[in-house]
Structure 1
Amino acid sequence: MATVVPEHGIQSMVSSVRKGPILTIHPESLRCTGYLAFWFMVAVSIAVTKAKVDVDMENTLLVQWFGYNNICVYFDFNPAREVAAMIYPLVEYSLFLYLLASHLHVWSSWSQKLVSTRFLHIDRVLVVIEIILMSWFRMVFVIKAPDDIKGHTYGFLGLQVVLCIVAIKNLVYFHKLHKSPLAVMCERLGFPNLLNEKAQDFVGGTYVFLLVGVTLFKMVFCLTTFAGDPIINSKEPGGRKLAQLADVVWMLLAAVIPFVIAFFQRKHTDTLHIALGFDDSKVLGLVDENAGLLESGGTQQEGGGN
């Protein structure tokens, strides 16, 4: 039996089950870990590429297709690609656990009537989609860019979708709880009354709008480039600078700001306690059922023997 409860209900819950371990989880701490692992993976990949890879960076596949290199170029060449693939599970598992813990947090809030049943069901569907798309990101290490640049890239596009979904969900969820990450940041920095709730919602909504907008631009640019009719000509200086700017802005919105939010939010989000144990009444019920089956089996054997 595994039961998830908010921090304030842990004692009453534990008393109803046979003694077992209690797992304490901070969802936002898991997100911090995932982002730190990601940047560690990037740093190691850059170092290995510069030290061990002999390639003309002015004529990579990314340059040939998109007109410039971005951070992904450091995952394209062995041994950097192999090293990154070994580090990536730290990123993947941390963020998997974050997604699951966040859903359990929503479930706990639903049990306290803080969010609606509809929101719970939507989150339940979205978390499955998020996990599937995030698991496909590993294809950037499985499919080599020179072999199939499109297949190599699609996993990254899926990750972009996941990060947008998470940002939108968190905006709505924390608004419902009246626990805006921006309010938490202002409080931690010593400015608790800097922004009222409407201003916090506006800033949060603007951030999500920018993230989704830049992500859509990047995805459309990528897909139209693969289709042979890019929305901008990144081979020309103006188009290349615009595409590079979009990359930098996206990285800031998707891989830097969320870490900052999670860092400040981690101590202001309720801790989840997962208590593992056995409900004695359930255990007895199983024993009785098994005993009945054994008795029935014995009767059948006796009948067969006669």
Structure 2
Amino acid sequence: MHSEIPGIVTAVALFLLLEPAVIFLNFAPWFLNPNHPTPPRPERFFQASIHSFLAMVVTGAILTTFFSGIDYAHTPLIDWYGYNNICIVFDTKPSTYISPVYWFFVGYLLVRYAIEDTKRVVQLTGIGPAVKAISYAANVILVLVAAFFSLCLAIGPGDNMIAHTVPFVALVLAFPFVFVMHCLQCEERSNWYVTAVTAFVVLSLLNAAFISIALITHAHLPVSIAQTVDILWLLFAIPAPFLMPPPKLTSAGAA
């Protein structure tokens, strides 16, 4: 246990440095002025969750590289998929000690986005009841996925790869449909945004399929294909919340 103390101290220090910075920088106008005339838009909560996740990744990468003693060439991920994905930085001590703490904020911000977006959907007058119902369902699914993703952190890949990975597959499938619903809600969507969302959906389906094949058969696809799709999915997922156009209400909007 004594040998883990430097890693644990570093983990806590990084968390106390990065996460408060993320929260403050995303919501500074409301910290500085509690009586701010407009509330944060739902998208701001989504963007803050991405920033929190990136802080979690940076912390995990530092801890894994300098304190875990991991052999990157021989991991459960290599065994199952043929390559290490981003989850490798969450899978070993001391990352396993601090990642769930980070995920509390990531998950909370995703849930808060879903709640605030649902409130806005109710007020939208330019969409029909079917789109409203599907938007509500997409937000409920996002909340459930955010909750169950905690299992990825609670169950290590060396303990049970299927239980470790299935919540991630659910996230891969659910994530792009948030942006699909925004396409349907937003009358001023651009062609490039529709094209990007379509590509994101295709990448998500491919990524989920490739991961599922490896889980079911324990025989992965060629790494050059599967890893490329996995990386492209991540490159779409991280910037997407910063590019999504918010639907416009007839009344005053939010900041």
Fold agreement, TM-score > 0.5: yes
Q: Which amino acid in the other structure matches residue 217 of structure 1? A: L
Give 1:65-104 correspondences, 5 Å limit: 65-104=80-119
Separation of aligned partners in 2, 1:267 and 1:207: 17
RMSD between superposed Cα atoms in Å: 2.4
How many equivalent pairs are there?
Answer: 218
Which shifted more, 25-34 or 45-54? 25-34
1:216 to 178, 197, 205: 205
Q: 1:204-236 deviations in whole A, cap 9, x for unaligned?
A: 222122111111111111111122165x63xxx
1:24 aligns with 2:39: yes
1:49 to 47, 64, 88: 64
In our comparison, the structure showing a higher alpha carbon Rg is 1
Query: How far has the Cα of 1:272 moved from its partner?
Result: 5.1
Which residue matches 2:13? none
2:240 to 237, 248, 258: 258
Is this contact kept in 2: 1:82–1:141, CA < 8 A? no
2:153 to 119, 124, 141: 141
Is this contact kept in 1: 2:110–2:142, CA < 8 A? no
Separation of aligned partners in 2, 1:142 and 1:207: 33
Separation of aligned partners in 2, 1:171 and 1:36: 23
Which residue matches 2:120? 105
Query: How far has the Cα of 1:151 moved from its partner?
Result: 0.3
1:127 aligns with 2:109: no
Higher relative CO (Cα under 8 Å, sequence separation at least 6) belongs to: 1
- For structure 2, the 5+ residue unaligned runs are 1-36
Q: Which amino acid in the other structure matches residue 147 of structure 1? A: D
- For structure 1, the 5+ residue unaligned runs are 1-21, 181-199, 234-238, 274-306
- The TM-score with structure 2 as length reference comes to 0.78
The structure-2 alpha-carbon separation of the partners of 1:267 and 1:102, relative to structure 1 and needing over 3 Å to count, comes to closer
The structure-2 alpha-carbon separation of the partners of 1:267 and 1:132, relative to structure 1 and needing over 3 Å to count, comes to closer
Is this contact kept in 2: 1:134–1:159, CA < 8 A? yes
The structure-2 alpha-carbon separation of the partners of 1:49 and 1:154, relative to structure 1 and needing over 3 Å to count, comes to same
Q: Percent identity?
A: 21
1:61 to 70, 76, 79: 76
Query: How far has the Cα of 1:72 moved from its partner?
Result: 0.5
1:170 aligns with 2:182: yes
